Chain A
Amino acid sequence: MVPFGTDETISRIVSAYSGMLLRLACTRLGSTADAEDAVQEAFLRLLTARPVFRDAEHEKAWLVRTTLQRASDIRRRAEQRNVPLEDMTEPAAPESPGEELRSAVRALPEMYGAVIHLHYYEGYSIKEIAKLLGLPAATVGTRLARGRERLRQMLKEDVV
């Protein structure tokens, strides 16, 4: 594949992955501005790390993992600086069903949140998620089942 760094490849990658990565970052971050920072940092890593990808799937997997890691770092740093919870979440608004669901996903242990999102939003199969996250399929299956169970308890409804 063409190395990342030319104007053309930068435009292609930013356009192809921004939406997916921003939503994925929001499984760990309550603020969309923080999610934008996480995704920008992931793209910047791509410039400096200069990995060479076998194919588009490899490229996507790298970006997914890096974005999740950047999002975790931002969240951890905010938590360690004791930023009050309300400052880490979206501006106070009447809690819509959508926000309730997003809050529940953010409250999941990180190992479950990403798997739940990739399955429910992106529609990936267990095998595809295993490949993206570099985990055994059995682990992804277990995390999906347990994450769903926790969401069910938090939302007090059926999660299918």
Chain B
Amino acid sequence: MNREDYRKAFDELSFSADFQERTADLLQQRARELEKERSNMTISKTKKMAVLIAACIALLAVSVSAAYMWLTPAQVAEEHDQPLLAEAFQGPDAIEINETVESGDFSITLLGLVTGRNLDVLNQDLEKDHTYSVLALRRLDGTPLENETFDFSGYTMTPLVAGCSPAAVNNWTLSAFAQGFAKDGVYYYLLDTQSIEMFADRTVYMAFYEGFAPSNDIFTVAEDGTIAFAEDFAGVQALFTLPLDPAKADRAAADAFVESTGMDGWTNERTAPEGDWDIERHETEDGEEITLRPKGEQ
């Protein structure tokens, strides 16, 4: 197989002739519906805000230290048009955390999480529970975070599990879906992963850091399986321990999950810097073939 064969195989696929037109119509109709819903919501929120401001003034008179207000996880879910999730965040299974870590220029607060099934109106997964976690980020100097300027994709929010390689249990292996938005200068992350409750009999973390997939440039794993940020990792970082209910653990499912990833290896040693490749070039009838292998791999 060469690139030409590959392209030919996928060019053979035949999709509906009207797919683009049908999809654009569907999206335009949905956009108009959403716009209408948001207009209605804004009117109702304005009324609620007057009550809220009055309540805040009363609270400030009692304690100035409680001045910073976040959206609740339920409100964050509402902002994402996820009513079922918003309800779950107010239900008995929700775990309120509200822990804050200050790192670099940021204050990072893990607000809470909830695990359940069919909570996402756009992704009704009939067979599997998902865990939804909400985190708030603000600048310590008070400069507002804004959708237009904040680099959402430059940061990662991911569960990690003590005793499991960070390469095996993380955002990517748990099929995470992260969304974010800024409101009133605070940036909110909503993370959807496969349920992490199966790991609940071990220490389960929620990590937030500047960077991409977990690597040994970012994390170290101690002999007892404890995970920490690498001492020389200078990016923004926060590691929260999640108060999950150990009774919900499923060790067999957790072990099977880790095995299914095929990524259970981990070393704190940094031996293979990025871009360290063996490159083989061969002239062919179609041009030049370039084979790239990590150094030392045959």
Contacts and interface: CB of A to CB of B under 8 A. Distances in A.
A73 interface: yes
Contacts of A88: none
A61 B293 CA distance: 25
Contacts of B34: 5, 47-48
A101 B6 contact: yes
Contacts of A54: 151
A5 B35 contact: yes
Nearest to A32: B15
A155 B35 CA distance: 50
Contacts of B152: 51
A160 B282 CA distance: 10
A104 to B, nearest CB: 9
Contacts, number: 159
B267 interface: no
Chain B: number of interface residues, binned into ranges: 35 or more
A133 to B, nearest CB: 8
Contacts of A48: 34, 80-81, 122
A99 to B, nearest CB: 8
Contact of B153 (A61, A117, A157): A61
Interface string B255-298: 00000001000000000111111000000100001011110010
A65 B214 CA distance: 17
Contacts of A97: 5, 9
Contacts of B213: 134-136, 139
Interface in B81-105: 81
A98 to B, nearest CB: 4
Contacts of B26: 40, 44
B13 A126 contact: no
A141 B277 contact: yes
Interface string B28-45: 101100110000000000
Given A5-B31, A10-B28, A77 B125 contact: yes
Contacts of A117: 10
Interface string B1-29: 11101111110111110011001101110
Contact of A22 (B2, B19, B276): B19
A-B pairs with the 8 shortest C-beta distances? Answer: A98-B9, A52-B147, A120-B6, A80-B127, A101-B9, A98-B12, A160-B289, A49-B179
Given A11-B24, A43-B27, A134-B213, 10 more contacts: A10-B31, A48-B81, A49-B181, A61-B153, A134-B153, A135-B172, A136-B213, A136-B274, A141-B292, A141-B294
14 contacts: A6-B31, A11-B24, A15-B20, A35-B15, A48-B122, A49-B80, A52-B147, A52-B148, A97-B9, A98-B9, A109-B262, A137-B275, A138-B273, A144-B292
